[in-house]
Structure 1
């Protein structure tokens, strides 16, 4: 089932047959460098455990012109994570989001920007999200540039947040606030 489509990029619900794509993508060291870590290649059992067993997460496949090219998930941020992030009940409907493009030939082509813009539109307009948050690792400058271009802003440094390639890495809590349409990045800086 297609959730949305824009400028050749679409997002559809994860299906059982997509597990082979996930195994292939998450066995590629180029992808693992940014998602999960090169020391964590996934086999079918890991893919089944991490991507097919949590009904609190909406797992989806990213497509470019009907070609499956990556993975995206979104979910309601639970009370425990809200507390870690510094949000209260009065902060409205908050969704978290994670994604990767698993086909390296699709990197550096503007697809990530179109993906994030489309997903933000879907979450804010269709699901009525007040805020969307992500926590990319601080060293991932390419991803941070895309997110900032799409209206996300850095909110809080999360020290030693994510285990990646043998050590805990710092992450940025970044936020898109639907009330102000996100904050567009000032390209002159």
Structure 2
């Protein structure tokens, strides 16, 4: 079941048949450097626990480029606990979060990530009625931050030692896309 299609990008709901593909991506050290950590390769059991036993608020999806499965994306409404952590306790409108990676490394550095982020922002604004979209990438990941900023996200707050990655807590940036500050993506 497709969530949306936009030009060469399609996003469809994750199914159990996708588990071996996630195992492949999440055992590749090149992918793990940026997502989950090279010290946390995923076998089938870990993939099933982590990606198929999520709460109902999370919408896990597979990203396709020209009908080829190339990555993973998930989106979700930000809940009360995270609203407090991020500093949005008084914000009464709708905030969504998203996380993603391109698991097929042959598709890196081709502008696909930018197209994916732009199309997901449009989807969340138009179909989920999001007022803000937030992410918390690790501060050292300048490549991802560049893509997000190119897509209209802005750095809001440095979050010291926010995420466990490769044996240590890493600093992350809280970044946001605010529909009231943007003309379009």
Q: Same fold (TM over 0.5)?
A: yes
Give yes or no for the alignment of 1:11 onto 2:19.
Answer: no
When normalised by structure 2's length, the TM-score is 0.96
Distance 1:128 1:56 in 2: 15
Instruction: Give structure 1 stretches of 5+ with no counterpart.
Output: 185-189
- 1:111-150 alignment to 2 at 5 Å? 111-150=112-151
The SS at the match of 2:129 is coil
Partner in structure 2 of residue 105 of structure 1: 106
The SS at the match of 2:81 is helix
Instruction: Give structure 2 stretches of 5+ with no counterpart.
Output: none
Distance 1:91 1:72 in 2: 25
Distance 1:90 1:30 in 2: 37
Distance 2:176 2:110 in 1: 24
Compute the displacement of 1:4 (Å): 1.3
Distance 1:80 1:107, change over 3 A: same
Moved over 3 A (4+): none
The total of aligned residue pairs comes to 184
Distance 1:177 1:114 in 2: 18
Structure 1 stretch 51-60 or stretch 115-124: which is displaced more? Answer: 51-60
Q: Deviations over 1:48-79 (max 9, x none)?
A: 11100112210000000110000000011110
Distance 1:165 1:183, change over 3 A: farther
Contact persistence 1:92–1:130 (CA under 8 A): yes
When normalised by structure 1's length, the TM-score is 0.94
Compute the displacement of 1:47 (Å): 0.4
Contact persistence 1:152–1:182 (CA under 8 A): no
Compute the displacement of 1:182 (Å): 6.9
Compute the displacement of 1:89 (Å): 4.5
Contact persistence 1:151–1:182 (CA under 8 A): no
Give yes or no for the alignment of 1:40 onto 2:23.
Answer: no
Contact persistence 1:150–1:182 (CA under 8 A): no
